[in-house]
Amino acid sequence: MSKQSQRRLKIFNVFSQNLRWLKEEVNFVNYEFKDDYICPLCLKIFPVEKLNEKMGNSLTLEDLPPASLGGKPLILTCRKCNSEAGYKLDSHLLNRLMELDFEQMIPGSKAKTKFKIGENEITGTFKYQNDGSVVIDVRPQNSNPKQAGKFLGDLITTHKTPITQDNIEEVINGTKMSFAIKNLADERRAEIALLRIAYFLAFNALGYGFILVNNPGLSLVRKQILNPDEIILSTPYWIKYDFEDEFLGINIVREPKNLRCFLVVFDLKTKNKIRRCGIALPGHIIDGEDIYKNIREILGQGDSSITHSVTIENISQKDERYLNTKPQSVASHVFWKEFFNKSNSDS
């Protein structure tokens, strides 16, 4: 058995056991299963045989965050849910982060570009080097050959000095060259990709009790992830704040009351920068999805500071999971009740 197959079987067994323990703790009316795995996104039931990659819609490893952003395989999703996220969501998140790197002129960042001198244009890339210089990489093979030839002729005759970040504007003006960055990311899809990562990280830590028991707001989260072209939840999903390392993992926002939610804090790593995200998920309350409207109305999204008094409790274990014993199968509910009661007693 390959290492990947062993990893998938180990994950299957951990979550299958968690599901059995949860069944003993809570009466599931709508689920009939024995030694099975439920895809955390579509909620379809899969027997262990579905670990066979040759079977239709088999169970696949899910990297959290995506491997391209520094993630590692932590859970299983069905192949359909996994593959659709790649082209519908994750690619937009990666492209958006790369665009942000470029907009902030971070060394090593680059963007696909169309350069133009007069009526002649050429495609290429625009890259900021580590030494402060700028590299313009033109691709005549991907451009109109006649226009590309005239463009290169104009560029060579009018520009003979190295391009740096300090003189790039002078160079562009001197050659009468303009450029337009080609944005590849759909920003809303990138936001939904963040929501998806947070949802899966919470599932990885808290198990089936978090997503299947008494959390109606998460059904809307799943629906939004599965249907990115629809506006099911209002944005933003995130709390803009420079969270310290102590908040990495799963948190509960206790106060103010209108911001009570689970808060998942994680890092995304491009080749050039590490960015920290704090994404809200509904708690075990009716209308928990109102958190997204409340984030916008109470905190606003103008900068990276929290101007209101917010109490956040980190509940992450060292191994990031509450899946090892039967009582832990309802850990998210225990924590939620504990902090909710604590808030009431303090008020």
Per-position DSSP letters for 185-222, written without gaps between them: --HHHHHHHHHHHHHHHHHHHH-HHHHHSS-THHHHHH
Residues 146 and 232 in one domain: no
**DSSP alpha helices (H): ranges in the chain?**
3-25, 79-85, 91-103, 145-158, 168-175, 187-206, 208-212, 217-226, 291-294, 331-346
Q: What is the pLDDT of residues 290-333, one digit of tens each?
A: 999 888 887 765 444 455 678 899 998 877 789 989 989 999 99
Task: Please indicate, yes or no, if residue 215 is contained in any of the structural domains.
Answer: yes
> What type of residue sits at position 185?
A
Residues 241 and 194 in one domain: yes
Residues 159 and 297 in one domain: no
Residues 253 and 310 in one domain: yes
Q: What is the pLDDT of residues 15-49, one digit of tens each?
A: 999 999 998 888 765 666 678 999 999 999 999 99
Number of domains in the chain: 2
Task: Please indicate, yes or no, if residue 113 is contained in any of the structural domains.
Answer: no
Strands 110-117 and 177-181: antiparallel
DSSP character for 299? I
Q: How confident is the model at residue 176 (pLDDT cuts 50, 70, 90)?
A: low
> Which of residues 131, 156, 175 is at a domain's end?
175
Strands 37-38 and 45-46: antiparallel
Average confidence (pLDDT) over 155-178: 60
Residues 190 and 48 in one domain: yes
Reported pTM = 0.87
> What type of residue sits at position 299?
L
| Closest C-alpha among 186, 203, 233 to residue 87 | 186
Task: Please indicate, yes or no, if residue 162 is contained in any of the structural domains.
Answer: yes
Task: Please indicate, yes or no, if residue 280 is contained in any of the structural domains.
Answer: yes
Task: Please indicate, yes or no, if residue 194 is contained in any of the structural domains.
Answer: yes
Task: Please indicate, yes or no, if residue 71 is contained in any of the structural domains.
Answer: yes
* Structural contact between residues 250 and 338, judged by C-beta atoms closer than 8 angstroms: no
Q: Which helix (H) or strand (E) holds 38?
A: strand 37-38
Domain interval for residue 128: 119-175
Beta carbons within 8 Å of 141's beta carbon, 6+ residues apart: none
Q: What is the pLDDT of residues 242-278, one digit of tens each?
A: 899 999 999 999 988 889 999 999 999 998 899 999 9
DSSP character for 236? P
| Closest C-alpha among 253, 250, 257, 214 to residue 344 | 257
Comparison of pLDDT for 105 and 197, the residue scoring more: 197
Task: Please indicate, yes or no, if residue 253 is contained in any of the structural domains.
Answer: yes
pLDDT at 209: 94
Mean pLDDT, the chain, integer? 85
Instruction: Give the position of tokens 């409207």.
Output: 293
pLDDT > 60? residue 156: no
Residues 165 and 190 in one domain: no
Task: Please indicate, yes or no, if residue 309 is contained in any of the structural domains.
Answer: yes
Please, is 255 exposed, middle or buried when counting C-beta atoms within 10 Å of its C-beta (0-12, 13-18, 19+)?
middle
Residues 166 and 191 in one domain: no
Instruction: Give the position of tokens 């990297």.
Output: 63
Distance spanning both ends of the chain, measured CA to CA: 56
| Closest C-alpha among 134, 187, 189, 194 to residue 165 | 134
- Could you give the C-alpha distances from 202 to 163, 172, 309, 323, in angstroms and in order? 47, 48, 24, 12
The span from the CA of 333 to the CA of 322, in Å, is 12
Residues 89 and 144 in one domain: no
Residues 244 and 304 in one domain: yes
Strands 72-78 and 59-64: antiparallel
Residues 34 and 142 in one domain: no
Residues 169 and 231 in one domain: no
pLDDT at 184: 80
Distance from chain centroid for Cα 179: 30
> Which of residues 129, 153, 175 is at a domain's end?
175
Radius of gyration of the chain from Cα atoms? 24
Strands 134-138 and 177-181: unpaired
Residues 161 and 20 in one domain: no
